Amino acid sequence: MALETIDAAAKRGVLALQDYALLSARAVSDLFRRPFYRSDIYMQADIIGVGSLPIVILTGFFLGGVLALQSAATLTQFGAAAFTGQLVSFSMIKEIGPVVTALMVSGRNASGMASELGSMMVTEQIDAMRALGTDPLKKLVMPRIVATVVMLFFLVIISDAVGISGGGFVSVFMLGQDSSQYFHTSYQSLEYPDVLQGLVKPIFFGFIIATIGCFYGMRTRGGTQGVGRSTTQAVVWSSILIIVCDFMISRFMIGIFGR
């Protein structure tokens, strides 16, 4: 009995993974097939990118600030408070900026995608779309993937900049550090591999957010309860995958560039 349960669960897991891979592959290949839904991409970019801007700016600023607060307290013990800027910029650009921005966007948009597509599934709107001769993967999934990947890339850059500014604000106005020293150490210590690492991550994270959100949306069953379940699963799994993917990219980049 227990073996049967494990067997069934394993089969369900493998099947879900296969469905996810197929959905992602088909949606990506739809990029190169006509018709190309340009206006849908712009609309999604507005919803995902511009719509997420306030939360990304707010969280970025206060994260940078709290990083400066915490690191300065420790660095002062070693007489190295002057390196606060370096620590904040390193952390923001390589790790915190991409990961926290992705988690914020995931919470806002993976859930949004799962609930929107899930509602369309349970009200037969997706079937209606297919019956009207439109491929829902092309019309609904592909634009969301493109928009999320592109907009998350820019959101992370904004988050990094705002986070470093937030750290600067705290360092200068609350900790009494010199502003030119803070910003000087911030950018002087950065090297291209650091920036590259920070810019590669949002591309993968954006892909994860959009594909997971759409995947759970498109496999929604069971009315409004099913929509709720899909929304929760989308946020949980995209968050987990973002953190796992972050570790793998970091390890890979450190392996290549040595930092």
φ, ψ (nearest 5 deg) of residue 161: -65, -45
Candidates 127, 179, 180, 257: give the one binding other proteins (CB under 8 A): 127
- Per rule CB under 8 A, is residue 35 in the interface with other proteins? yes
Distance (Å, whole) CA 86 – CA 146: 33
Which residue type, as a one-letter code, is found at position 142? M
5 binds other proteins (CB under 8 A): no
The pair of structure tokens assigned to 58 is 């707010």
Binding other proteins by CB under 8 A: which of 18, 74, 76, 123?
A: 123
Out of 66, 70, 82, 135, the only residue in the binding site for other proteins (CB under 8 A) is: 135
Interacting residue with other proteins among 1, 2, 3, 132 (CB under 8 A): 132
Alpha-carbon gap, residue 56 to 52, rounded angstroms: 6
Cα–Cα nearest to 46, from 123, 109, 93, 100:
109
* 32 part of the interface to other proteins, by CB under 8 A: no
Question: Whose Cβ is closer to other proteins: residue 37's or residue 62's?
Answer: 37
CB-nearer residue toward other proteins: 38 or 259: 38
SS3 88: helix
What does DSSP assign to residue 181?
A: H
Of positions 75, 80, 130, 175, contacts other proteins by CB under 8 A: 130
- The encoded tokens of residue 24 equal 């992602």
Residues forming the site for other proteins (CB under 8 A) = 35, 123-125, 127-135
